[in-house]
């Protein structure tokens, strides 16, 4: 797969809410990528740093906690968190229901069309190199 050149349209909150997977790449462009995530109760994305990629996360439902750099804040429906490239971050589900969000990476961070049903599957794909984004 390569970069998409046609317009894509999403009712993003609905698409995110209906996503059963930990991470699903919806769209990959030349400079950005749209991904939906569902973090189960008690789960987390896991502490990470994207050296060359900015990330914007928008929360659709659930309650959680955002750790970005040295700051920690609660997050819930309607909140948006920007993570500059090179910044250590983690997002944890702190509620009884899934923490649902969509995120935009710039440039792409994951393989085009990637679907990871669980955090463990996502980590395995990253370790094996199967989750590499398209050539930048």
Q: CB-based contacts of 24: which residues, under 8 Å, 6+ apart?
A: 35, 36, 37, 114, 115, 116
Task: Give the other-Cβ count within 10 Å of 106's Cβ.
Answer: 16
In degrees rounded to 5, what are phi and psi of residue 85?
Answer: -50, 140
The Cα 74–Cα 82 span in angstroms is 14
The Cα 68–Cα 82 span in angstroms is 9
pLDDT in tens, the chain (136 residues): 455 577 889 999 999 999 999 999 999 999 999 999 999 999 999 999 999 999 999 999 999 999 999 999 999 999 999 999 999 999 999 999 999 999 999 999 998 998 999 888 888 888 888 778 776 5
Per-residue pLDDT, 1: 47
Residues 22, 36 contacting (CB under 8 angstroms): no
CA angle 35, 2, 56 (to 5 degrees): 25
Residue 114 burial by Cβ neighbours in a 10 Å radius (0-12, 13-18, 19+): buried
CATH superfamily of domain region 20-128: Jelly Rolls (2.60.120.10)
Q: What is the DSSP string of 16-60?
A: HHH--SSEEEEEE-SS-EEEEEEEPTT-B--SB--TT-EEEEEEE
Per-residue pLDDT, 3: 59
Residue boundaries of the structural domains of the chain: 20-128
């Amino acid at each position: 797969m390569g970069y998409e050149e046609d317009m894509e349209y999403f009712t993003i909150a609905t698409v995110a809410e209906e996503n059963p997977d930990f991470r699903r790449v919806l769209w990959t462009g030349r400079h950005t990528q749209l991904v939906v995530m569902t973090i189960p109760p008690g789960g987390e994305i896991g502490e990470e740093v994207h050296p060359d990629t900015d990330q914007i996360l928008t929360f659709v439902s659930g309650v959680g906690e955002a750790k970005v750099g040295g700051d920690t804040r609660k997050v819930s429906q309607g909140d948006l968190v920007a993570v500059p490239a090179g910044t250590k971050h983690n997002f944890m589900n702190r509620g009884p229901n899934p923490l649902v969000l969509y995120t935009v990476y710039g440039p792409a961070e994951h393989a085009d069309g990637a679907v990871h049903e669980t955090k463990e599957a996502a980590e395995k794909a990253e370790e094996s190199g199967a989750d590499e984004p398209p050539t930048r």
